[in-house]
Amino acid sequence: MSRLAEVYDGGKTQLSAADIARSRGLPGPFVAKILSALSKAGLVTCARGPGGGATLARHPSEIRLFDVFRLFEREDLRTQCPFGGGICGQGEPCPLHHKLLAMRSAMNTLLLDTTFDEFRIAQAARARESASGSRAVTPLWQRQSETLKRPAKKREPRKPTRQPRSTRRAK
């Protein structure tokens, strides 16, 4: 979805699942399933066939991270405490209770207040930097996928630890 936000131009540019998979270093079938779920939720529009692809259904500034998060993550208000062994909020709180609540609150704020427009704005800034000749920063996800694509080093065959029987000295 972030890749669709990066190229958003009012719905003119459509990307196939294969295009998105290639750009993010992900398996194509996985991306196709994600796009299908996003389409059913009304977040992306998909067109089949030659020249088809996916585009955001709305402007990236109108789609919050929370809109995608709630599709794929189970939000359970009765959260199991990872340290106390019970349901958070029932009984004696664990030593980290207040910190975990603060973390959960901060994450909810991030998801609710952040839109996919941030990806579009960042991509536009990288394009401007590239056009002006200044050094653009390579996104972390891209550096990681480039690392994964490097060919593996050839390993030398293991040397035998013992001599074959035919070359051993006779006693």
pTM tops 0.85: no
Q: How many CA atoms lie within 13 Å of 61's alpha carbon, on the beta-carbon side?
A: 3
**pLDDT tens over the chain, length 171 residues:** 999 999 999 889 999 999 999 999 999 999 999 999 999 999 999 998 888 899 999 999 999 999 999 999 876 655 777 776 677 766 777 788 888 888 888 999 999 999 999 998 988 888 888 887 765 556 555 555 554 555 555 556 666 666 656 665 555
- The region that residue 48 occupies, defined by phi over 0 for left and psi between -120 and 50 for alpha, beta otherwise, is beta
CA distance 123 to 110: 20
pLDDT tens per residue, range 32-78:
999 999 999 999 999 988 888 999 999 999 999 999 999 998 766 55
Instruction: Give the side-chain half-sphere CA count within 13 A for 50.
Output: 0
Give the CATH number of domain 2-140. Answer: 1.10.10.10
Each domain of the chain, given as residue ranges in start order, spans 2-140
pLDDT at 46: 94
